[in-house]
Structure 1
Amino acid sequence: MTSARWMVVLVLVAPCLFPLHAPAAEAAVRPNVLFIVADDLRNELGCYGVPAVKSPNIDRLAARGVRFDRAYVQYPVCNPSRSSFLTGLRPDTTRVLDNSVKVRKNLPDVVTLPQMFKENGYFTASLGKIFHRGGTMEERNEQMDDEKSWTVSRFYQATATGLRGEGRNMTGGKLNWCRWLAADGDDEDQPDGQVARDAIKLMEEQKDKPFFLAVGFHKPHDPFIAPKKYFDLYPLDSLKPHVEPADRTKDLKIATGGGALAEAFDKFTDAERREFMRCYYAGTTFTDTQVGKVLDALERLKLADKTIVVFVGDHGYHLGEHGWWNKNTIFEYSARAPLIMALPDGRSAGKSTPAVVEFLNLFPTLADLTGVKPPAGLQGVSMRPLLENPATSWDRPAYTQVQRGKSAGRSVRTDRWRYTEWDDGKAGVELYDHQTDAGEYRNVASDPKYAAEMAKLKGIVKP
């Protein structure tokens, strides 16, 4: 065959050989998407430099993917965050600012991330918690997560055995928070074990068709329930509670919100702080184990080289930093969350990127990688350049917001700075220099030498 004919053949077959580089790829060669979400998971994992937290399976995924070291959610609470990254729209657009409103109520015709895939020939499934579901457990089990989005949608609950064990409410029952249970039974006596089991079954059933499989693990969200063996991995005397720096400035009260939770946290003894850490880490390792089961099945079924794997926490979490043991702040601990993406061809495997990115970008990124045409109006951008070269230049800020009653907090995170305004600055302003203050303990907003930087950041605090 002449060289000219070889060139013709190569042009014809290249789109089939390299589907990630073919925007118009046919559904038959489009990669699957395994989209894993952990609830309330902060960046304390082995692959993020915290070996004391046992996460060998998430670490394994990071070793074959790209770890985003500075990925930020747009609202650090479950429903607003998920509503944002599953629609590719900012919270101001979805108008979902708490856990009580479903995104379809405000945007009935919005095309969600899984819906985009469903409408393009993919089998789509929601297992566990993907969109935030409200109501009683019975109501959650009866309702479809979002009918337009899913071919299959399932929610789970613990068995009777899984609800027994040793535990307590650390507020003495005064609040419906800070509850833990070292449960009897095994993994599948808990919802997350059942989620992993069914994820494996669906991959076995759908392995010859393109799928978007969303696997939503509930832990380490409160109540901190996991089989007892995971608690045993973290002896109380091995845990070291966070110590606030002596030179910190006083936090604005609105920064964490105060209230009954803050009062309860202030009363924690050192032993109770260790107790809280143990149950949170137990939930983290329990989730990691379930992730491992799903990844093992992906490899056993020879789907790893056909599947884009995304792993995220829906937002971060405080474990005593700034006196807080929860989420819903615009501090780094709450706004930043894990994000790992592994491509079928192993591109950039084991690398990390320091780029400041938004979860909002997940939607356009997956559309770009799979060649599926995205809906108009997405407010994020594709992160494909960072996946192809994690060291590539990337100069885009990340935006996070919260609501405290009628008071709005808005924050912009750049490579060096975090700038936060409350009620357009009328209720307070915060400025943190991440070159010297990674924990955001020294608010330098009132220091005149930062006036020029303040003015610049004030001009971009709203996207």
Structure 2
Amino acid sequence: MDNAKEFRNVIPDMVTLPQMFRNGGYSVVRIGKLYHYGVPKEIGTNGLDDPASWEHVWNPRGRDCDDEDKIFSILASPNAKTVLQRGSGNYGGTLSWLAAEGADEEQTDGKIAAQAQQFLRQKHEKPFFLAVGFYRPHTPYVSPKSYFELYPQDKVELPQEPPGNRETKPKAALSNTARAHYGMDEDMQRSAKQAYLASMSFMDAQFGLVLAELEKQGLDKNTIVIFISDHGYNLGEHGLWQKRSLYEDSARVPLIIRDPGMNSPGLPTGRTAELIDLYPTLADLCGLKPDRRIQGTSLKPVLENPDREWNRAAFTQVVFGNKKEAEAVGRSVRTERYRYTEWNEGRLGSELYDHAVDPREFQNLAQDASRANVVEELRALLGKGTN
């Protein structure tokens, strides 16, 4: 499956996470982007939503959609100089940005936050499952000018990497940015990163409004809050930008779980988790029955004791190419210490990084004879697949 395929055509009777809550007597609500959307063209629509999952939905649309003709995008080609173009109409998969006029509440994410606040102010006769999906920092990186001012362009730091770093990587691993940095010079890279940081801070401020309203209404005392993203992001590491790489910056996501019933709140953990663990975790915490076909493992034991033993790994996969081109399939497994990746089962290269000493993944140890046993163990784990 991919993010443009409607899962109901594959598993028609699947009980989704919100359906589980709905079946358990909860009011189930979606505001904004939860299932896949084409951004920005499908903002304000249902996108590839699953109607069976929700009782109520809201699809706010803000001035960022009306300001699209003002957005700057990079225009890159394999050999020519990369330049900026305004109003290209090509924003969703291209580095694009705008320091917008107007207030937070005029933007789509501002409207999403306002709708979530309004929902929390209502009288609730049933427990609720509220899914709030913000669009930013998805490209185009649009946020009010004040957020750009938090990150002066001349202060934006670019990744510092050893000479020849890209040459140590399998070619397939660099597929999403085949030309390093899309050919951008350092000033343009700083502009792109400034815009990303600005849109991230803008989204963070909107989420803060929702949390403040939750507390204001006294609902924080019995509400589990989870903050996640669907993927990480490259901002120039290894010459890569955006998502769809198997390096740490792209494959790792934020995961914060706040359960008012836990005995040790606010503690981090070094244990490894996957997004598919959320469904069984919430089922466990709320005493609900999940669909029998779900994958993943409840994280409740880790929430109760963040330092407990936890021998689980996380898996990530990416596919490049299409029917007309040779496919490059990358599969990666991450343990607490190592990341091991194979491209086309190793035929297009393999990678091993020791995060204990190399968290930025510069030194590929896959061919290091002293790590042969580690490679063998992780190759077997990768072959076994998701926990």
Query: With structure 1 as the length reference, what TM-score do the two structures score?
Result: 0.75
Residue 152 of structure 1 corresponds to: 56
Please tell me the residue identity of whatever aligns with 1:349: P
**Regions of 4+ moved over 6 Å:** none
SS of residue paired to 1:377 = coil
Superimposed CA distance per residue, residues 234-262 of structure 1 (whole angstroms, 9 cap, x where no aligned partner)? 1111111111124746211111315xx54
Aligned to 2:324: none
* CA contact 1:361–1:381 (8 Å) conserved in 2: yes
Q: Which of 285, 291, 294 is matched with 2:210 structurally?
A: 294
Asked whether the equivalents of residues 36 and 48 of structure 2 are also in contact (C-alpha less than 8 Å), the reply is: no
Q: Structure 1's 138 and 404: CA in aligned 2 closer, same or farther, altered over 3 A?
A: closer
Please give the residue correspondences for 1:156-175 in structure 2 after superposition, counting only pairs within 5 Å.
156-159=60-63, 163=67, 167-171=71-75, 172-173=84-85
AA aligned to 1:217 is: F
Residue 359 of structure 1: aligned partner: 275
CA contact (8 A) 1:162 1:190 kept: no
Task: Report the count of equivalent residues.
Answer: 365
Match of 2:80 in 1: none
Moved more, 342-351 or 452-461: 342-351
Determine if the alignment matches structure 1 residue 326 to structure 2 residue 246. Answer: no
2:112 to 160, 172, 195: 195
Check if 1:423 corresponds to 2:330.
no
Aligned to 2:12: 108
Gaps of 5+ in 1: 1-95
Where 1:455 maps in the other structure, the secondary structure is: helix
1:120 matched to 2:17? The reply is no
Partner of residue 253, structure 1: 171
Give the match's secondary structure for 2:122. helix
- Structure-to-structure mapping, 1:76-115, within 5 angstroms: 96-97=1-2, 99-115=3-19
Distance, in Å, in 2 between the alignment partners of 1:361 and 1:144 is: 22
The Cα offsets for residues 267-320 of structure 1, whole Å up to 9 and x where unpaired, read as 211111111111001011101100110011001110001100000111100110
Name which structure has the greater RCO, CA cutoff 8 Å, separation 6+. 1
Letter in 2 for 1:189: E
Supply the distance in 1 between the matched residues of 2:199 and 2:42 (Cα, whole angstroms). 24
Which residue of 203, 210, 219 corresponds with 2:127?
210
Percent of pairs with identical residues: 41
Counterpart AA for 1:119: N
CA contact (8 A) 1:179 1:223 kept: yes
CA contact (8 A) 1:164 1:183 kept: no
The equivalent position to 1:455 in structure 2, one of 371, 376, 379, is 376
Is 1:310 the counterpart of 2:231? The answer is: no
Report matched runs for 1:180-191 at 5 Å: 180-191=97-108
* 1:444 partnered with 2:361: no
Which ranges in structure 2 are unaligned for 5 or more consecutive residues? 76-83, 322-326
Partner Cα separation in structure 2 for residue 144 and residue 317 of structure 1? 22
State the TM-score, normalized to the length of structure 2. Answer: 0.89
Q: Deviations over 1:420-453 (max 9, x none)?
A: 1111111111111112111111111112221111
Separation in 2 of the partners of 1:216 and 1:231? 22
> Which residue of structure 2 aligns with residue 236 of structure 1?
153
CA deviation after TM superposition for structure 1 residue 170, in Å: 2.5
Output the CA distance in 1 between the equivalents of 2:381 and 2:180: 36
RMSD across aligned positions (CA) = 2.2
CA positional deviation for 1:156:
2.4
The one-letter amino acid of 1:308's match is: I
Separation in structure 2 between the aligned mates of residue 164 and residue 232 of structure 1, nearest angstrom: 21
C-alpha separation in 2, matches of 1:166 and 1:139: 17
8 Å Cα contact 2:262-2:303 kept in structure 1: no
Contact 1:165 1:183 in 2 (8 A): no
